[in-house]
A and B are shown apart, each in its own frame.
Chain A
Amino acid sequence: MILKSETLELREDNAVVRVRQRARALAIEIGLGLVDQTKIVTATSELARNTVDYGGGGTATLDVINEGNRRGLKLTFSDQGPGIENIDLALTDGYTTGGGLGLGLSGSRRLVNDFSIDSTPGIGTTVSITRWI
């Protein structure tokens, strides 16, 4: 169940900072500890940058969710960019098409509890992450 939801535009690198700050605020609000806050905010930064740099911009949706008796922060990053041809390859440490370190997707997955990615070439990419308390 979604307790609270907000969607932010992701068009340029300043927007990455805004999404990061909202993720931090919500992480504190639901009571995540400092290390868990830092993990989800760092994963947010990586994925928001991907949306801007590779997806040509898109949106970030931040949901406070409830499942049974646990609460979590779920972030969904969506773009209508070129999509990812080979998701397994994109999830490999060190693989990059953009000259970065190739840790964005693979590293983010390690920082959260749930991770899902859905991408169709020519249509776009959606990545969701959740950190439970």
Chain B
Amino acid sequence: MDNIMDRIPILKMGQFLLVTIQVDMYDRLAMALQDDLTTKIVEHNSKGVLIDISSLEMVDSFIGRMLGSVASMSRMLDAVTVVVGMQPAVAITMVELGLSLSGVRTALNVEQGMSVLNGLVAHEVEGADYDSEE
């Protein structure tokens, strides 16, 4: 059991999950995160996932694909994923590489990402169950 360090921590904050990627990602770590997130969404009945990639100095096609997969999988599990904090140089490079992250919601930082999630969840509840209070 020496793989305790081989996991990116996932924090539960109310109805959301929060992930801050602070290590240089290798492929098995990315796959483990994808598995862990989908498991935790179901376990905690989470409505949103916020992934902070501000410490990532590059996003290659493998990490890009993982982010896209997490967004798709969470959608199927009734949760929204927002990726926040992408560095400008990373965005430029990803587009030239050919990665568009289509289908992945983004926000500039954690704070804005949380308000996107709160807005989406509030809107959903309002639309589904309640009359508008405004």
A93 to B92, CA, bound (A): 18
Contacts of A10 in B (CB 8 A): none
Interface membership of A14, Cβ < 8 A: yes
A106 to B59, CA, bound (A): 16
Interface membership of A37, Cβ < 8 A: yes
Task: Give per-residue flags for A83-112: 1 if the beta carbon is below 8 A from chain B beta carbons, else 0.
Answer: 000000000010000001101101110110
The secondary structure that dominates the A interface is helix
Interface membership of B43, Cβ < 8 A: no
Task: Give per-residue flags for B18-58: 1 if the beta carbon is below 8 A from chain A beta carbons, else 0.
Answer: 00000011111000000000000000000000000000011
Q: Are B27 and A42 interface neighbours, CB within 8 A?
A: no
Interface membership of A46, Cβ < 8 A: yes
Interface membership of A39, Cβ < 8 A: yes
Query: Closest B-chain residue to A38, C-beta based?
Result: B89
Q: Are B62 and A49 interface neighbours, CB within 8 A?
A: yes
Q: Are A21 and B97 interface neighbours, CB within 8 A?
A: no
Interface membership of A17, Cβ < 8 A: yes
Contacts of B97 in A (CB 8 A): 42, 46, 103, 107-108, 110-111
- 11 pairs, A vs B, C-beta closer than 8 Å: A20-B24, A38-B92, A41-B57, A42-B97, A49-B27, A49-B60, A100-B62, A103-B98, A107-B96, A111-B96, A111-B97
